[in-house]
Amino acid sequence: MNNTIQTTSSSAVNSVGRLFNELPLSPGLLATLQQLEYLTMTPIQAASLPITLAGHDLIAQAKTGSGKTAAYALSLLTRLNSRCFAVQAMVLCPTRELADQVTQELRRLARSVDNIKIITLCGGSTMRPQMASLEHGAHIVVGTPGRIMDHLARGSLDLTQLNTLVLDEADRMLDMGFYDDMAFVVKRCPPKRQTLLFSATYPAGIAGLARQFLRNPQEVKLLEQHEENKIRQRFYEVSHETRLQAVGQLLRHYRPASTLAFCNTRQQCRDLLEVLQAQSIHALTLNGDLEQRERDQVLIQFANRSCSVLVATDVAARGLDISRLEAVINVEVTPEPEIHIHRIGRTGRADENGWALSLCSPSEMPRVEVIARMMGFEPEWHDLATLPSDSTTPLASPMVTLQILGGRKEKIRPGDVLGALTGEAGFTCEQVGKITVTDQSTYVAVARNIAREAVRRLSAGKVKGKTVKVRAL
Ligand code: ADP
Ligand code: MG
């Protein structure tokens, strides 16, 4: 295709350090970027922003964590007129978590724009409050195709002023069977609009989607190229019977602070969780069987370092902005090399090294050969039998998450909780980790050795002048 720009996401591109102020962005946006310490553009931003700002349709492909949100957010914020109370931009996402992440990033980036209203429209929440928010007027909506469709059907969402439509994680929306819902929504958008399609992979369906919904799109593809010294790949041969036990062995040996263990099926996730729990390794899983609140709790615990192992399938893990993974374990080698490359790309981010450890049964050997050929390396085989492991020090995460019943609805803010812990309760700031406030609950990570005492003192004391219920997760 002649309008495709292909580039590689190696640090060579990064270190060239294209600055945001090369772009026609408002002084307010530039100041915000500086405050957020977004010093230079990521490669996908450098490649796509000139295209989106010029008003063209775009198909952009780059791996998770490459900064795709800002790549479209800066463009749609530039076009936005905050004095006009109408929906001017809409972002479709596959899941509520992703929609929440996008909304957060948009709000951060939109800080300098006065009175801007961004709302999230996803299933799992009741319609009525969403309809009320829409009535008050919103500039940007972020949501899942199903729920947006519901609003369109009820007439509570008016898209006549829409000028930018973003399909984020388009590949995953296709995977999840949202094609028809997307088509329904797109047909309700004004024909004269800019459409931006972002995707982590490029399966066949994407081209079809683009042909239908985009107009003369420019394409930007960042070919993945991990720096070898950053991601250290090792392969271990296992038998089918020893596979799950071997995961525990790797964890005890490498002792990574945070690991994402990929399974090929949900059943394998459940089995692995059981095996790890039997080995006293605290792991959590992310799968479609979980209720929304449980999923949120899993992600919160993983992000705040009170769970060091997350077990997931590719579908469950895709798109999540989980940074600083020290290791990725492939419980089974995936038959698709692209997926393997994508999985291991989650470790070794930024300036840190990461382990990519793969367990491989004899029948999966040909898969490793294909991957190695595609990535151009000689697989490094190691022997599990000779792996020394430190089995004396227990494998426990440094933090424990406490759940306080009461959240945004009770007007609790992170500062209230930090204040309660470091004031009356007498703990130090160092003993308190990340604090996450959701609608109904507040989650605070505390150092493992004070967890019990912290529950006691918080329950005995007050948060924001009120007695609260607290429990350790
Ligand atoms: P993607 O959608 O490609 O998976 P995200 O948009 O979620 O990636 O961005 C990943 C992370 O990188 C986010 O935490 C975001 O705040 C951060 N980020 C994005 N752009 C920049 C930048 N130019 N400089 C520094 N950090 C950035
Ligand atoms: Mg994204």
pLDDT tens digit sequence for 416-473: 999 999 988 899 989 999 999 998 999 999 999 999 999 999 999 888 888 999 999 9
Task: Return d(Cα 8, Cα 206) in angstroms, integer.
Answer: 20
Residue 423, amino acid? G
Task: Return d(Cα 16, Cα 14) in angstroms, integer.
Answer: 5
User: Do 248 and 125 fall into the same domain?
Assistant: no
Residue nearest to atom 15 of ligand 1 (CA): 67
User: Do 199 and 341 fall into the same domain?
Assistant: no
Burial 47-78 (b: 16+ CB within 10 A, else e): bbbbbbeeebbbbbbbbbbbbbbbbbbbbbbb
CATH number of the domain that 416 lies in?
3.30.70.330
User: Do 46 and 149 fall into the same domain?
Assistant: yes
Q: Is 183 a member of any domain?
A: yes
Q: Is 304 a member of any domain?
A: yes
Sign of the alpha-carbon torsion through 235, 240, 246, 247: positive
User: Do 109 and 152 fall into the same domain?
Assistant: yes
Q: Is 329 a member of any domain?
A: yes
Q: Is 394 a member of any domain?
A: no
Task: Return d(Cα 396, Cα 405) in angstroms, integer.
Answer: 25
Cα end-to-end distance, the chain, whole Å:
52
Low-confidence ranges of the chain (pLDDT < 70): 1-17, 223-229, 319, 321, 323, 349-351, 390-392
CATH number of the domain that 73 lies in?
3.40.50.300
Q: How far is the CA of 64 from the centre of ligand 2 (A)?
A: 6
Last residue of a domain, one of 207, 223, 239: 223
Q: Is 288 a member of any domain?
A: yes
Report pLDDT for 18.
80
Task: Specify whether the CB–CB gap between 454 and 420 falls below 8 A.
Answer: no
Strands (E), 383-421: 399-405
User: Do 374 and 413 fall into the same domain?
Assistant: no
Q: Edge to edge, what strands does the sheet with 259-263 contain?
A: 283-286, 309-313, 259-263, 327-330, 354-360, 231-237, 381-382
Q: How far is the CA of 169 from the centre of ligand 2 (A)?
A: 6
Task: Specify whether the CB–CB gap between 129 and 103 falls below 8 A.
Answer: no
Query: Is 100 touching ligand 1 by the criterion CB < 6 Å?
Result: no
Residue with tokens 């929906």: 87
Q: Is 153 a member of any domain?
A: yes
Number of domains forming the structure of the chain: 3
Task: Return d(Cα 126, Cα 142) in angstroms, integer.
Answer: 16
**Most informative mutation of 21, 35, 38 for ligand 1 (most atoms within 8 A of CB):** 38
User: Do 66 and 29 fall into the same domain?
Assistant: yes
Closest CA to 307 of 430, 441, 472, 457: 472
Q: Which domain holds residue 178?
A: 4-223
Query: Is 68 touching ligand 1 by the criterion CB < 6 Å?
Result: yes
Report pLDDT for 7.
45
User: Do 271 and 290 fall into the same domain?
Assistant: yes
Residue nearest to atom 17 of ligand 1 (CA): 67
Query: Is 243 touching ligand 1 by the criterion CB < 6 Å?
Result: no
Closest CA to 212 of 190, 195, 229: 195
Closest CA to 405 of 436, 435, 443: 443
Report pLDDT for 467.
92
Number of Cβ within 10 Å of residue 257's Cβ equals: 12
Task: Return d(Cα 186, Cα 189) in angstroms, integer.
Answer: 5
Encoding tokens for residue 270? 């459940």
Ligand 1 atom with the smallest distance to the CA of 101 is 7
Task: Specify whether the CB–CB gap between 53 and 212 falls below 8 A.
Answer: no
DSSP label of 390: -
